[in-house]
Chains A and B, each alone.
Chain A
Amino acid sequence: MAQSAAPAPAASTAIPAVAPISLKEIAPWALFVGVLMLLLLYFVGAEQGATSLVSGENVHEWVHDGRHLLGFPCH
C-alpha cells in the first residue's frame, strides 16, 4: 500500500473541507434537546408496558399499532 498521507492538495479539486462545529456549541443542545427526544421515544416505545409513569393504559393503547410496527415489544 502506498502511503496515503498528505491528502490535502490532491483532493482539492472536489469538496472543500467543512469546518467542524465545536463540541462546546453542540453540548447544551445535545443535553437538553437530546434528553427531551429520548423522553418522547420512551413514551412511544415503552410507557405503560414494562414501566409506567402515568397510570392506566391509555398511552399504551393509543400508540399500540405504532409500537408494534416500529419494533418495540408491546405486550
Chain B
Amino acid sequence: MNSISVRALLVRGMLAGLAAGVLALIVAYLLGEPHVDAAISFEEAHSHDHGGGEEPVSRTLQSTAGLATGVLVYGVALGGIASLAFCTALGRIGRFGPRATAALISLGALIAVYLVPFLKYPANPPSVGDPDTIGKRTALYFLMIALSVLLSVGTVILGKRLAPRLGNWNATVVAGAAFVVAVGLAYAFLPGVNELPDDFPAGLLWKFRLSALAMQLLLWTGFGLLFGHFAERLLTPRAGAQEEKARAAAPAG
C-alpha cells in the first residue's frame, strides 16, 4: 500500500462527501427550510427592536445558494476527514473489508460528530438563542464535538486492547459501555443551554430538530455506502472484476 492510495481514498472521500451533501441538501431544502421560514416569521412577529434595516443577503439567496454552500462544503470537509479516519482504521479494527470499514466509520462519525453533541446541545432554529451568549454556546458546542470524537477514538483503542482477553464481542460491549458512561459524565458536568423564548411553538422546534437529524442520517448513510463502494473497487480490484464477470455471465447462464 503506497501513498497514492491515501490520496486516491481522500479524493474519493471528498467526492462521496459532496454527493452525500447533495442528498442532505435535498432534505434540508424540502424538510428543513419550511421550519426555518416559520421560525423567522415568529422572530419578526415577536421582536420589537428589529430595526436592523437592509439584510445583507436576501432570504431567497440564504435558502438556496447559501444553504447549498453550507451543506456541500460541510459534506466535502467531513467526507475528507472521514476518509482519513478510514485510512487509519482499515485493517486495524478487525477483519473488516473496505466496504464494512467504510460503513463502520460512517456510523461512528454520525454518533461522534453529530448525535452525541446533538443530545446535549441540539440544533436550534432562528429566534431560539440569545445573541449575547453566542460565544459561550459556540465554545461549548465545539468542545462537545471534540470531546465526543476523542472519547470515540479512545473507545476503539480500549476495545482493541481488551479484545485479546475478552474476545471481540465482549470487548466491544465493554468499550461501548465505557463510552456511554464517559458521555453521560460529560453531559452531567457541562453546563446546559436553554434559551427558548417562552411562547415558541413546541411542535415547530421538534420538527426543525427532526429535519436537522434527518439531514445527518442521510448524509452519513449516503457517504458510507458510496465511499464504501469506491474504496472496495480501489482496494480490491479483483473483487470488482469478479462481480462484473458474474454480472456479465448472469444473462448468458
Contacts and interface: CB of A to CB of B under 8 A. Distances in A.
Contacts of A11: 95
A75 B91 contact: no
A29 B138 contact: no
Given A37-B80, A71-B117, A75-B129, A65 B97 contact: no
Contacts of B6: 21, 25-26, 29
Contacts of A61: 55-57, 62, 66
A62 B58 CA distance: 9
A21 to B, nearest CB: 5
A69 B74 CA distance: 11
A21 B134 contact: no
Interface residues of A, number: 51
Interface in B91-149: 91-92, 95-98, 100-101, 114, 117-118, 121-126, 129, 131, 134-135, 137-139, 141-142
Contacts of B28: 65-66, 69
A43 B73 contact: yes
A38 B74 CA distance: 10
Given A40-B76, A50-B135, A75-B134, A62 B62 contact: yes
A75 B197 CA distance: 14
Contacts of B61: 62
A75 B71 contact: no
A53 B70 CA distance: 17
A54 interface: no
B235 interface: yes
B97 A18 contact: yes
A51 B235 CA distance: 42
B212 interface: yes
Contact of B67 (A41, A56, A69): A69
Interface of B: 1-3, 5-7, 10, 28, 32-33, 36, 55-57, 61-63, 65-71, 73-74, 76-78, 80-81, 84, 87-88, 90-92, 95-98, 100-101, 114, 117-118, 121-126, 129, 131, 134-135, 137-139, 141-142, 164, 166-168, 170, 211-212, 215-216, 235
